[in-house]
Chain A
Amino acid sequence: MTRAAAGVALLALAAPAAPAQRFTIGPQFALASYREVAAGLRYQGTGFGGAASGRFRKLLAEATVTRLTLDPAEGSSATAGFTATEVNAWLAYDVAPYASVELGVIRRATDPEFDAQSVGAVRVGARSFYEIGPGATVVFRANYLVAPKFSGGGRAPLSLDLGLGLEVRLAGRLLGTAAYTFERLNRKTNPGGTGEIDAPIQTTVARVGVGVSF
């Protein structure tokens, strides 16, 4: 990249974006923890991903893609790790200056396929957001996961997803982002028709990154 191109890029980053409609995109680093069925089966890992969001007046669209590499945690009964690719998407509509309702999807695919549960679900919920300072916004959201599907079968009548988000304008168009997700899936399975047994899944993910807004 030439110096001129670098200068133009810096200028573009330094200029603030219009607030009424804004598009943000950027990479993220992720920390994750995954537990399934019993306390002994737990994994921890890291990963990378990206997030993009676009706002038009009261409408917000947001999507994240994260690829996690999860290994058995210390003291875990698991013998091998796995990778998970998680895609989240939300479409939110502001119903108040500090609140919006949202609809979205979650899709997590694991590899190898049966080392952990792949999940797909529709999410419905709400979020609250507040600008705590110039260019700094905190978000709290709660979603109910509707009828999740698992690669290993089963059902999860109570599935919730909580989130905490932070967005800070670092300089001009450059943003710092951080997001935390806690996901609890009360999965129940009926192996061999012998009766339902609990096989809960619990995931926590923290994503920290930067973004550029346009």
Chain B
Amino acid sequence: MSRRFGALALLAGLAAPAPGSAQAIQNATLRRAQQANDNLEYRQVLSLARAALRERLTGPERARAYELLGFTYGAMDSILKAVDAFKQVVLIDPERQLDPNRVSPKAYSAFDVALRQVLLVRQLRIDSTSFVGGQGTAPIRFMVTQPARVVTRVIGAEGSFLIDSGAWNGQVNLLWPARLPNGDPVPAGSYTLVVEARLGQNASSASQPIRLSHGNVDTVPHLTSLPGYQYLPETEVPPQSWRPLGLAFLYTGGALIGTVGLESSSLGAGSKREIAVVGGAALVTGFVMTLRRPAPRPAAANILYNRLLRDQIVRRNQEIAKENVVRRQQVQLTLAPLPKPAAGGPR
């Protein structure tokens, strides 16, 4: 029995964290507990670790203290207590992972049971990737320790964009095209990838800062003219003609003929000075207008041509606008995870 106990203790010792993390321990009581664990003095480990937890510890120290308790309870076959201790470990540090090759099966199974008894989102990963918008995706991986409603989104200064919402359990692999519902790419900028899991009153979340950048887009400029086609003047000056004088003659002649024709024979020939005044003015005006440069008049053919040209340019610009929309949607997207901000001080 004592030999088996010793072997388990050895395994528990192997499961101890790397020397680097042990060196990070500042609390003296916890250091002594670590040393007791190294020396396989489990009763002392229990008492010192419990004593350390009553003191002021940083988060990693507190997690380490619970971890020492978990390993020790596991070695002492107190599985339920080991599970409780490991639950505290993962609640403090959800990313904590045990190496099955270095940890005793009892401790590992207790850790595994502890993981399944709390709702956690852990091991959130997004790889650096680069792809053309609409033609590629960014893989997102994370683990949910219990069946839960999981909402995944990115939040940034440009807005909040939903990636996925669904019921998940265990390892989750998502593919994010980084596109908006209208097909446009998500605007470039710094975002935080947030995964929120909710199961009843329990909730857990994990986040990862990321940076999304866009490549250059070669859009086609809009046209103001069609090459080889020029607008034509919409008015033209007609050639000089005798038309104004002719029309003045026609109208004056009509009035004169009408006057002469309608004059009453019984009243004799009437006075012609009135029509002489007005008719003379009309003829002089007609003569002057004949000599004057004619006023520009609308050139119907040119107006029609210009309208067709404008319509053609508008149509071509509409095509260019559509083409540019597609080009902007097919921009090169580069996605890179950013380091997480440093953790807080002691808890």
Contacts and interface: CB of A to CB of B under 8 A. Distances in A.
A133 interface: yes
A164 B278 contact: yes
B278 A206 contact: yes
Sorting the interface of chain B by its residue count into under 10, 10 to 19, 20 to 34 or 35 or more gives 20 to 34
B267 A164 contact: no
A160 B255 CA distance: 12
Nearest to B275: A180
Given A44-B271, A133-B288, A202-B267, A178 B259 contact: no
A140 interface: yes
B172 interface: no
Contacts of A168: 285
Contacts of A205: 274
Contact of A164 (B251, B262, B263, B289): B251
Sorting the interface of chain A by its residue count into under 10, 10 to 19, 20 to 34 or 35 or more gives 35 or more
Q: Chain A at the B interface: mostly helix, strand, loop or mixed?
A: strand
A140 B247 CA distance: 11
A9 interface: no
B254 interface: yes
Contacts of B258: 142, 162, 182
Interface string A108-137: 000000000000000000001010111010
A164 B292 contact: no
Given A178-B282, A202-B270, A163 B264 contact: no
Interface in B234-288: 243-244, 247-248, 251-252, 254-255, 258-259, 262-264, 266-268, 270-271, 273-275, 277-279, 281-282, 285-286, 288
A210 interface: no
A198 interface: yes
A87 B254 CA distance: 24
9 contacts: A33-B270, A35-B264, A42-B268, A132-B286, A136-B289, A166-B285, A182-B255, A184-B264, A208-B281
Given A36-B267, A132-B285, A136-B289, 9 more contacts: A128-B251, A132-B247, A162-B258, A166-B285, A178-B278, A180-B277, A182-B262, A184-B263, A198-B266
Counting from the closest, the 8 A-B pairs by CB-CB distance are: A133-B289, A39-B268, A206-B274, A164-B255, A180-B278, A33-B271, A132-B244, A134-B295
